[in-house]
C-alpha cells in the first residue's frame, strides 16, 4: 500500500527536477538582467540596463525584426496550415500516408530546415538552376535574392516550411471531429459544404487555430537558429543580438544581454496572458470549452 502511495510522487520527480531547473534559470536571467552578478563586482540591482536598451537604435531594430519575423511567420503559417487541414478534412484524408507525410517537416530540426532552404531557394539552389534550365532565366544569378536580406525572407520561408504542416497536424483532429458531427448535420439540413465549413467547422475550430498561432508566434519571436543562418549581418534578430552580446569578450556586457533575454521572457509571458484572455472570451462567445 505504501508503495502505491509513493509511486505517483516518484513519477513526479523528473517533472519537479525540470521545473526547478527552469525556475532557477529564469531567476538567474532576471537577476543578471538587473545587474546583479557578484562574480563581476556587480551587487546593486538596477533597471538601468533595461532603460539603456530602449534608448539604443540597434536594440529597437532587433526588436522590430523579431516581431516582424514572428508575426509574418505565424499569420501565413496559420492561414496556409488551416487551408491544408481543411483540404484534408474535406477529402477525407485524415489518416494514412498523407498524415505521415505532413509530420516529416515537423520532426526535422530548424538548423536542418535552414540547410534545406539554402539548397532550394538560394541563387545557386535547385529552383534557380531549374528556372535557368527551363529558359525562364538566362543566368541563376537573376533568381530573386530570398536569403540574407534585411526582410529575413529566408528565415520566414523556413518557418513556413516547418510550421504549415504543424498547424495542419495540430488542428486536424479538432476540425475533423467537428466536420464529422456538426458539419455533416448542417449539410443534411441543406447547407452546402462550403457554407457548412465557413459557418460551423471553421468558427468552432478557432480555439485550436488560436493555440497554433500563439505557439508559432512565440517560437519564431524567440527563435535563434533560422535568423542566424538565413538572415543578414544587420539588422540582427533579438535572440541573435542577445547571444552575440552574451558571448562578447567584455563581460560587463553580460547584464545588457540578459536584459534582452528578460525582455523576450517578459514579452512572452505578457503574450501568454493576453492569449488566455482572448481565448477565454472567444470560447465563451462560441459556447465551447477552452
pLDDT tens for each residue of 73-89: 999 999 999 999 988 88
Q: Which of 58-62, 140-144, 263-267 has the lowest mean pLDDT?
A: 140-144
pLDDT tens digits for range 215-242: 999 999 999 999 999 999 889 999 999 9
Q: Which CATH architecture has domain 34-286?
A: Orthogonal Bundle (1.10)
Cβ(238)–Cβ(62) under 8 Å? yes
Q: Which residues contact 276 (CB under 8 A, 6 or more apart)?
A: none
Helix, strand, coil % in the chain, rounded to nearest 5:
80, 0, 20
Pseudo-torsion of CA 91, 97, 102, 108, nearest 10°? 180
Q: Among 246, 104, 218, 238, which Cα is nearest to 166's? A: 104
Residue 135 has which C-alpha cell?
529558359
Q: In the predicted model, what is the mean pLDDT of the chain?
A: 87
Nearest to 116 by CA among 287, 230, 207: 230
pLDDT in tens, 150-196: 999 999 999 999 999 999 999 988 888 776 666 566 666 666 667 77
Q: What percent of the chain has pLDDT over 70?
A: 91
DSSP assignments along 185-254, one per residue = HHHHTT--HHHHIIIIIHHHHHHHHHHHHHHHHHHHHH--HHHHHHS-SSSPPHHHHHHHHHT-S-GGGH
Residue 224, exposed/middle/buried by CB under 10 A (0-12, 13-18, 19+)? middle
The C-alpha atoms of residue 133 and residue 122 are separated, in whole angstroms, by 16
In the structure grid, which three cell numbers stand for residue 128, read together? Answer: 534557380
Calculate mean pLDDT across residues 27-36: 92
Amino acid at each position: 500500500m505504501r508503495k502505491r502511495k509513493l509511486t505517483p510522487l516518484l513519477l513526479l520527480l523528473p517533472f519537479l527536477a525540470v521545473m526547478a531547473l527552469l525556475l532557477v534559470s529564469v531567476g538567474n536571467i532576471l537577476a543578471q538582467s538587473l545587474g546583479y552578478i557578484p562574480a563581476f563586482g556587480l551587487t546593486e540591482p538596477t533597471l538601468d540596463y533595461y532603460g539603456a536598451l530602449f534608448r539604443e537604435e540597434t536594440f529597437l531594430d532587433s526588436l522590430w525584426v523579431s516581431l516582424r519575423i514572428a508575426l509574418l511567420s505565424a499569420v501565413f503559417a496559420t492561414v496556409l496550415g488551416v487551408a491544408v487541414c481543411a483540404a484534408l478534412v474535406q477529402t477525407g484524408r485524415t489518416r494514412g500516408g498523407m498524415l505521415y507525410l505532413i509530420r516529416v517537416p515537423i520532426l526535422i530540426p530548424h538548423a536542418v530546415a535552414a540547410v534545406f532552404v539554402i539548397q532550394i531557394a538560394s541563387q545557386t539552389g535547385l529552383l534557380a538552376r531549374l528556372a535557368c534550365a527551363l529558359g525562364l532565366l538566362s543566368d541563376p544569378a537573376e533568381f530573386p535574392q530570398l536569403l540574407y536580406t534585411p526582410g529575413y525572407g529566408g528565415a520566414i520561408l523556413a518557418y513556413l516550411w516547418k510550421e504549415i504542416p504543424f498547424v495542419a497536424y495540430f488542428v486536424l483532429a479538432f476540425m475533423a471531429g467537428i466536420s464529422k458531427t456538426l458539419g455533416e448535420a448542417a449539410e443534411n439540413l441543406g447547407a452546402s459544404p462550403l457554407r457548412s465549413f465557413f459557418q460551423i467547422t471553421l468558427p468552432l475550430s478557432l480555439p485550436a487555430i488560436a493555440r497554433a498561432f500563439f505557439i508559432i508566434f512565440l517560437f519564431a519571436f524567440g527563435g535563434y537558429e533560422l535568423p542566424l543562418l538565413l538572415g543578414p549581418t544587420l539588422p540582427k534578430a533579438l535572440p541573435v543580438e542577445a547571444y552575440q552580446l552574451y558571448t562578447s569578450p567584455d563581460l560587463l556586457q553580460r547584464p545588457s544581454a540578459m536584459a534582452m533575454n528578460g525582455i523576450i521572457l517578459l514579452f512572452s509571458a505578457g503574450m501568454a496572458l493576453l492569449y488566455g484572455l482572448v481565448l477565454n472570451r472567444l470560447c465563451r462567445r462560441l459556447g465551447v470549452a477552452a
